[in-house]
Structure 1
Amino acid sequence: MKSKTLAAWLAFLGGPLGLHRFYLRGFGDTIGWLLPIPTAAGLYGIERVQQYGQDDVLSWLLVPLLGFTIAACCLNAIVYGLMPREKWNARFNPGAPQEAEPGATHWGTVFAVALSLAVGAGVLMASIAFSFQRYFEAQVEEGRRISE
């Protein structure tokens, strides 16, 4: 039986590593195996920012990948947490009664949804702000270079 609360917490805490996908769909899930790729690329982008500064073009392309991956996993946690018990059990616990306990919403589920909403929105806005700021600064620099 797959617990909705555990799936929401796995999506929130271990989503960028695909833990929620492995929990719900098993180790044969392709998306679960692909999720660490943008996570690692984003972490490499953060490392490049620390090494080369914010003027590194590759870093401002890679850093948002991590942010968007975290935000998408937080969205998954919200979707899991808000899914009705009947739909959860029909989808992830086939053969179980519709009112089975693993599909129930508990306080732990509510906290996972609330934290996912706060963190996901913050990370998404920060990723968008970082990438747009770097993009427009690069455009201004290019305009200055052309005008000289």
Structure 2
Amino acid sequence: MKNKTLCAWLAFLGGPLGLHRFYLFGWRDPLGWLLPVPSLLGVWGIVRIQQYGVDDTLSWLLVPLLGFTIAATSLTAIVYGLMTPEKWNGRFNRSAPADAPAGGTRWSTIFAIALSLMIGTGVLMASIAFSFQRYFEYQVEEGRRISE
């Protein structure tokens, strides 16, 4: 039986590592193995910012990958958490009755949804703001170089 609450928490806390995908679809899930790639590239971008500063072009291209991955997996946690028990059990617990307790919504499910909404939205907005700011600063610098 796949538990909806556990899956929502796995998507929120371990989503960028693909933990919710492994829980639902097993270790052979290709998307579960691909999710850590943009996460690790984003972490590498953060490390590059610490080493070379925010003017490093590659770092400001990589950092939003982590933010967008966190935002996407937070959205996944929200979608899974808001699924009706009938839909959840029909999709992930096919041998169980439609009203099986594993697909039920509990207070811990609601907390996972609320935290996913708050953190995911904040990370998404920060990633977009960082990306646009660095992009426009880069454009200004290139314009200055061309005009010289």
Please give the TM-score of this superposition, normalised by the length of structure 2: 0.99
Name the Cα RMSD after superposition: 0.5
- Structure 1 counterpart of 2:28: 28
- Structure 2 counterpart of 1:139: 139
| Secondary structure in 1 matching 2:95 | coil
- Correspondences of 1:87-126 after superposition (within 5 Å): 87-126=87-126
In 1: Cα distance, 2:25 partner to 2:68 partner: 22
- Structure 2 counterpart of 1:71: 71
Superposed displacement of residue 8, structure 1:
0.1
Superposed displacement of residue 88, structure 1:
0.1
Runs of at least 4 residues of structure 1 off by over 4 A? none
| Secondary structure in 2 matching 1:50 | helix
Superposed displacement of residue 146, structure 1:
1.2
- Structure 1 counterpart of 2:42: 42
Instruction: Specify every segment of 5 or more residues in structure 2 that has no aligned partner in the other structure, as ranges.
Output: none
- Structure 1 counterpart of 2:84: 84
The one-letter amino acid paired with 2:127 is S
The one-letter amino acid paired with 1:23 is Y
In 2: Cα distance, 1:145 partner to 1:17 partner: 41
Superposed displacement of residue 68, structure 1:
0.4
Superposed displacement of residue 10, structure 1:
0.2
In 2: Cα distance, 1:56 partner to 1:132 partner: 15
Instruction: Specify every segment of 5 or more residues in structure 1 that has no aligned partner in the other structure, as ranges.
Output: none
In 1: Cα distance, 2:126 partner to 2:47 partner: 17
Please give the TM-score of this superposition, normalised by the length of structure 1: 0.99
In 1: Cα distance, 2:100 partner to 2:132 partner: 46
The one-letter amino acid paired with 1:116 is S
In 2: Cα distance, 1:145 partner to 1:35 partner: 38
- Give % identity: 74
In 1: Cα distance, 2:27 partner to 2:143 partner: 50
Superposed displacement of residue 95, structure 1:
1.2
| Secondary structure in 1 matching 2:136 | helix
The reply to whether residue 17 of structure 1 matches residue 17 of structure 2 is: yes
The count of residues paired between Structure 1 and Structure 2 equals 148
